[in-house]
Structure 1
Amino acid sequence: MSQDYRTTPTETSGMPGGIPYIIANEAAERFSFYGMKAILSIFMVQYLWLMGDAPTEQMSEVLASENYHKFNKWVYATPFFGALLADFFFGKYRVIIWLSILYCVGHACLALMGVSGSAGWWLFAGLSLICVGSGGIKPCVSAHVGDQFGKSNQHLLTKVFNWFYFSINLGAFLSMLATPWILEWHGPHLAFGIPGVLMAIATLFFWLGRKKFIHIQPDSKKFKRELCSKEGLGVILRLLPLYFFVAFFWALFDQTGSSWVFQSQDMDRHFVIDWLPSQIQSINSVLILTLVPLFTFFVYPTLEKFVKLTPLRKIGVGLFITVFAFS
């Protein structure tokens, strides 16, 4: 790593200089990902078969849902390998920036579908590259945020992660509204191309912040030591039951991008305006954009007067509330 890059947090009580670049990167990357993902199911059924050198058999909703969830599966499986690359070999910054470039190439493949050859192969190549790109971003960006803080300003972490999460959902909300309209009015090339441009902008933002970031060096020996320690193994064992139930939650929740979209085609979608089926997914981001500021500035400060709210307590209460929401 270049001598120009800091490897330890700055002793300051203020906000680290790299945070705005990370949040801008995340908002743009989330726009690209959720914008592409929002139209994927409808695209595979209504558009894919008409693209390429010659029309093919139209994909069924069942097969489109299956392909959509296979894509989701690999999007969330590859981060395991991305985390190992970052912690053992290259560090978070390099893994994020390198795999972001592959991510951009994946978006380009989607935007170029139908230019020549089989559109199905363009789709497969694009989604595969996005899966690999996600593998470098998902496990590293949140940890990279934490790396920017030292003991003197770690009290700002909760606030930063609130805004980090807010930026994710702002990007998701805007893209889930925009890309279905773009697909409807201008077709798939532009609908997939605009998220690709946003991913390129996200990569540029991250690169521009390189000299502002704290670059924690990879240390495979330390990683193995912490992972195999009694404390590390204990934490993993305590978390395993939680992840068992989390898997069921996401299996149900991700139906919003497939089954829910197809079901909404047969529903009355008029609420102030006429909504497209793919836009129904945006309700999740609307609620988050509303509730994050409400909880940050009102609910949590009020509750803090009576009980100490740690991140784990918030997660625990949230899980119980989720049970009632699903029932």
Structure 2
Amino acid sequence: MAKPSYLTAPRKSANLPKGIPYIVGNEAAERFSYYGMRTILVIFMTQYLKNAHGELSPMTDAEAKVWYHDFMAWAYFFPILGAILSDAFLGKYRTIIGLSIVYCLGHLALALDETRTGLTVGLSLIAIGAGGIKPCVTAHVGDQFGASNNHLLSKVFGWFYWSINFGAFISTLLTPYLLNQYGPHWAFGIPGILMFLATIVFWLGRRQFVHIPAGGKTFFKETFSPEGLRAMGKLVGLYVFIIIFWSVYEQNGSAWVLQAKKMDLNWAGVEWLPSQIQAINPILVLIYIPLFTYVLYPAVNKIFTLNPLRKIGIGMFLTVPAVLVIAWIESQLIAGKTPTIAWQLLAYVFMTAAEVMIYQTGLELSYTQSPNSMKSIIMSFYLLTISAGNKL
């Protein structure tokens, strides 16, 4: 019998799985590419978009917001496609590699074509690629661990999440500068190059990864089994509230950027670009997660039990001051004043705190309340709340 090319079960080892550095490196580069592209979308559509004759033909602010949120909705709808392809047909590795190539082609279209045609093709391919790999990558991390090294899993997820936010922070600062100084070709091209490198890094790790075979028909039987349907039913009510949160939160990539264009962008001795302000979000996430986990949550638990539903409730409450700050800024702009961009930073302080309390808690509940055979599909349904929030 021929020896299989790839591992299908974790090695018996107390050490870190050999494939993990490839996954973390891939994720950092992929998140750089995604957030770098997303950060400049609204500015590109309202200031740089051209027609078929090469003449400037920008969108209105209202039209750009519609395009932005439609893209986001599709990007968080396609995780369902990725979960089905991965768990039923192709397995995680082949799904991630195949959709990463689609993802790269989307970046290429944006970098080469500054018209609505290039925008449509590019965003469509990126939505399919980025969305499709989302539920697969996290589950692929878990597949690498066995009983002998499972104690390292939480530490690796910490590195994994850190890599996401580090990539997001760097790209959110860099790509607006590239767009302003060198134009769309470089601003979209650099994220595309990073996505290509992310794909190569992941491919290089193929011999080190554990490849769990796809489930085939078993996947569909388990998904629509009584246990599977009960798991989904328990989470539906929670997801309704989370959809409302995302409908508010996702404005920071569109309405908040357009608002920043009208504000005084000189702050802390630096002249910021409107879309660069979004970089405060990943930095706050990196600060808040250890702060909440090791300081805030233990302190609150001494007063009352901070269960997952209470965390989500507090998170929903924290969105209110963020919205009030943004509304106050808008009233000042309407009155003819030019408030400092520091006011938006205050809104980010509240909104990012809400994000950490709601997103992380919802992620945990979705994972723990779903059967082992359904974790990818349940995670894709959780990501669907972001899609629905963008359509509200």
Q: TM-score scaled by structure 1?
A: 0.90
* Structure 1 partner of 2:281: 284
Per-residue deviation, 1:2? 8.0
Whether the aligned pair in 2 keeps the contact of 1:162 and 1:292 (CA below 8 Å) is no
Please tell me the residue identity of whatever aligns with 1:86.
S
SS at match of 1:77: coil
Partner of 1:240: 236
Map of 1:7 onto structure 2: 8
- Determine the C-alpha separation between the residues in 2 that align with 1:12 and 1:317: 39
Tell me the percent identity: 51
Give the root-mean-square deviation of aligned CA atoms: 2.4
C-alpha contact 2:88 2:220 (8 A) present in aligned 1: no
**For the residues of structure 2 that align with 1:149 and 1:38, how far apart are their CA atoms?**
34
Query: In 2, Cα distance between the equivalents of 1:268 and 1:315?
Result: 39
- Cα gap change, 1:122/1:150 in structure 2, threshold over 3 Å: closer, same or farther? same
Three-state SS of the structure 2 residue aligned to 1:268 is coil
Q: 1:62 to 1:99 in 2, by over 3 A?
A: same
- Equivalent residues in 2 for 1:207-226 (5 A)? 207-226=203-222
Specify the alignment match of 1:250 in structure 2. 246
C-alpha distance 57-147 of structure 1, shift in aligned 2 (>3 A): same
Conserved 8 A contact 1:166-1:288: no
2:84 maps to: 84
Deviating more after overlay: 191-200 vs 231-240: 231-240
Task: List aligned pairs for 1:273-312, cutoff 5 A.
Answer: 273-294=270-291, 298-299=294-295
Specify the code of the residue in structure 1 equivalent to 2:168: A
TM-superposition CA deviations, 1:13-52 (whole Å, max 9, x none): 2221111111110110000000000000010000003x64
Q: Is the 8 A contact 1:11 1:152 kept in 2?
A: yes
Of 129, 136, 147 in structure 2, the residue corresponding to residue 133 of structure 1 is: 129
- State the aligned residue count: 317
Q: Which residue of 2 aligns with 1:64?
A: 64
- How far is 1:295 from its partner? 5.0
Report deviation, 1:78: 1.1
Contact 1:52–1:113, Cα closer than 8 Å, also in 2: no
Q: Distance in 2 between matches of 1:318 and 1:164?
A: 23
Aligned CA distance change for structure 1 residues 153 and 320 (closer, same or farther; 3 Å): farther
1:102 is matched with 102
Q: Give, as a single letter, the amino acid of the residue that structure 2 aligns with 1:8.
A: A
Cα-to-partner distance string for 1:54-80 (whole Å, 9 max, x where unaligned): 325431000000000010011011111
Pair 1:158-2:154 in alignment: yes
2:96 partner letter: I
Q: What whole-Å deviation, never above 9, does each CA across 1:256-292 have from its counterpart, x for those lacking one?
A: 1100000111122222112111011111111012223
Please give the residue correspondences for 1:26-45 in structure 2 after superposition, counting only pairs within 5 Å: 26-45=27-46
**Deviation at 1:300?**
8.6
Distance 2:161 2:37 in 1: 19
Shift of the 139–46 alpha-carbon distance from structure 1 to 2, 3 Å rule, reads: same
The answer for the alignment partner of 2:176 in structure 1 is: 180
Indicate conservation of the 8 Å contact 1:34/1:172, yes or no. yes
**Per the alignment, in what secondary structure is the counterpart of residue 21 of structure 2?**
helix
Q: Relative CO higher for 1 or 2, CA cutoff 8 Å, sep ≥ 6?
A: 1
Q: Which runs of 4+ in 1 moved over 6 A?
A: 300-303
- State the 1:149 CA deviation: 1.3
Amino acid corresponding to residue 290 of structure 1 in structure 2: I
Q: Is the 8 A contact 2:8 2:212 kept in 1?
A: yes
The 2-side partners of 1:186 and 1:224 are apart by 49
Match of 1:320 among 280, 301, 313: 313
Instruction: Give the structure 1 partner of residue 364 of structure 2.
Output: none
Gaps in structure 2 of 5+ consecutive residues: 321-392
Does structure 2 conserve the Cα–Cα contact (< 8 Å) formed by 1:79 and 1:138? yes
Out of 4-13 and 70-79, give the one that drifted further: 4-13
Contact 2:112/2:185, CA 8 A, preserved across alignment: yes
- Report the residue type matching 1:275 in the other structure: W
The answer to whether the Cα contact below 8 Å between 2:28 and 2:163 also exists between their aligned partners in 1 is yes
